Structure 1
Amino acid sequence: MLHYGKRTLYGKIQRLPIRFFRHKNRTSYHIISVHFWTQPAKQSTYTTSKEISPKLFQNSLTVTNTQFLSKTKTKTKIAMSTLKIQPTAFALSSSVRQLGFFNLKLPRNCVASSNHFSRYGTRRALTVSMSTTSSTPLEVCVKSSTTAPNKPGDCPFCQRVLLTLEEKHLPYDLKLVDLAHKPDWFLKLNPGGKVPVIKLNEKWISDSDVIAQALEEKYPDPPLGTPPEKASVGSKIFSTFIGFLKSKDPSDGTEKALISELSSFNNHIKDNGPYVNGKEVSAVDLSLAPKLYHLEIALGHYKKWSVPDSLPHVKSYMKAIFSRDSFIKTRAQPEDVIAGWRPKVLG
């Protein structure tokens, strides 16, 4: 039951005739129809649709009717109403009649499917599915910053794990570890002393590759998997970057090797971009992005070198991935990156 001004809108949480779906390569949804009634005896139906972007996440599913249509012979009335549905671990639905254009604020663990619609007079059933997400924050240990308090350090593998958690909208408890003085509590749970490590299913797991795969299997929505034929795209950029960064001989071919790898990546993004797997980020982007961030900062500082203008798609890719909220939130301080590479460059 939904209160609307002085009137009451009736409905059932068991059946919700709204449908929307997520395209394979885009994060937008179509609302097919919403039905509600002001009196059980007076029922009429209008259907419409609106494409929206699910960037706003709350703890409940919110349907806001911004153009409520109440048609009579002489006029159409415009009004407002809001319906909230608390998320659960199973499919949700409700009944409502009479409809307008709606905005949807989806919970983080909400996914759905749809079919096509007709504009007027067709009743459709909406299914909202809730994926198995973590209500308890996941414990994750990463390197701490040496230049700023309460900030992640310069480990690109740690950032990859944090990016995965952010892009999957999973809550996590960030534990920062000073690798120069590893605390006893950290060595007790992780005798190897390496980061990143995360606690999944009551076990501590290390290695960013293993962690990313485990998170994908346990929390499949939103999917971040990369097709096998694209999984190795850009995989040699990091090693050639290190070779060039450490090089003392301008003619040893290390710069040429790096440009060759970047050129291959540039061609791939040109044909497949804006990200490695198309319009949406995937696991390979979350692995590559922190390494390109290190490349940009370290080579700029130690060699006064930057990605050539002849590789515009690499530059646009870096700009796009570096500007994502998940990346901004988890990136290392430039001073940490510079300090982290200093021993390799000067040593």
Structure 2
Amino acid sequence: MALEVCVKAAVGAPDVLGDCPFSQRVLLTLEEKSLPYKMHLINLSDKPKWFLDINPGGKVPVLKIDGKWVPDSDIIVSLLEKKYPEPSLKTPPKFASVGSKIMSTFVAFLTTKDASDGPLLHELDALENHLKSHDGPFIAGERVSAVDLSLAPKLYHLQVALGHFKSWSVPGSLTHVHNYMHALFSLHSFEKTKAEEKYVIAGWAPKVHF
């Protein structure tokens, strides 16, 4: 039975892939595992009835697997790893939480007027130190794993949104972070599943109140 996935459509362009980092995480997982799938673009400002019927919560992503619709990117990624274990995207448990606070500190800095970038820099410094002390180019070594596919969309949003709204960029001194971002953004799966920058900006614009 074919896999189907519902993901966010672009703001103002319902026929174009949108900017949801959690949707992209699922798409990245499907691509890295070379799994065929049918993608449904969901206009979150005008959700179709069939989508709300199968997913009353109305959030994306949602994956149809074994005939059932399953929400939540954490659950979806875990299910895909169990059902399709090869190629493995498992992250060693000791590395699973690397970078886990980058998204929350990025969002706080982006959406709060006069916010300090200190908490975000603290998290990026921690990522830099991890990458510096371990063989890369990815979190767990030479092979991309689930933690990378979770971080990649978040770092992309960070780069695009903070650059646009706050003229802020990752400090050049964080060379390992820059190299890591380049490695992630160069993946064929990432190129195929990323939203255009203008749609990332459009997606964040309503949340930036200054």
The TM-score normalised by the length of structure 1 is 0.59
2:55 counterpart of 1:193:
no
Does 1:257 pair with 2:119?
A: yes
* Aligned pair partner of 2:15 in 132, 139, 150: 150
For structure 2, the residue ranges without an aligned partner over 5 or more in a row are none
Moved more, 139-148 or 171-180: 139-148
Correspondence 1:319 to 2:182:
yes
The answer to whether 1:164 aligns with 2:26 is: no
User: Residue 14 of structure 2 contacts residue 41 of structure 2 at CA under 8 Å; is this kept in 1?
Assistant: no
* 2:131 maps to which of 259, 269, 273: 269
Contact kept? 2:14, 2:43, Cα under 8 Å: no
Q: What's the secondary structure of 2:15's corresponding residue?
A: coil
Q: Is 1:330 matched up with 2:206? A: no
Higher helix share: 2
Per-residue CA deviation, residues 297-319 of structure 1 (Å, 9 max, x unaligned), is 00000010100011001011111
Which residue number corresponds to residue 207 of structure 1?
Answer: 72
Tell whether the 8 Å contact from 1:298 to 1:337 is kept in structure 2 after alignment: yes
Q: Give 2:88's aligned residue.
A: 223
What is the deviation of 1:296?
0.2
- What CA distance in whole angstroms lies between the structure 1 residues aligned with 2:177 and 2:55? 37
Deviation string 1:229-260 (CA, Å, 9 cap, x unpaired) is 100000001111111112322xx5x3011111
Match of 1:138 in 2: 3
If asked which structure has higher relative contact order (CA below 8 Å, sep 6+), I would say 2
Q: 1:281 aligns with which of 144, 166, 170?
A: 144
Question: 2:44 matched to 1:179?
Answer: yes
Shift of residue 148, structure 1, vs aligned partner = 4.4
Three-state SS of the structure 2 residue aligned to 1:151 is strand
Rg larger in 1 or in 2?
Answer: 1
Aligned to 1:299: 162
Tell me the amino acid that sits aligned with residue 120 of structure 2.
L
Q: Does the Cα contact within 8 Å between 2:113 and 2:209 map onto a contact in 1?
A: no
| Distance in 2, Cα, partners of 1:148 & 1:243 | 27
Q: What residue identity is the alignment partner of 1:286?
A: L
Poorly superposed stretches of 4+, deviation over 3 Å: 147-150
| Alignment partners' CA distance in 2, 1:247 and 1:200 | 39
User: Which residue number in structure 2 is paired with residue 339 of structure 1?
Assistant: 202
Structure 1: how far apart are the matches of 2:185 and 2:122? 22
1:152: Cα distance to partner?
1.5
State the secondary structure of the residue aligned to 1:290.
helix
Whether the 8 Å contact between 2:33 and 2:87 is mirrored in structure 1 is yes
CA distance in 1, matches of 2:124, 2:154: 13
How many residue pairs end up in the alignment?
A: 209
Counterpart-to-counterpart distance in 2, 1:137 and 1:147: 29
1:152-190 CA-partner distances (Å, limit 9, x unpaired): 211000000000000000000001111100001111111
Give the drift of 1:339: 1.1
Q: Encode CA deviations 1:190-237: one digit per residue, 9 max, x unaligned.
A: 111111001111111000000000000000000001111100000001
**Identical pairs, percent:** 61
Alignment partner of 1:342: what SS?
helix
1:314-333 deviation digits (Å, cap 9, x = unpaired)? 01111110011100100011
Aligned residue identity for 2:174: L
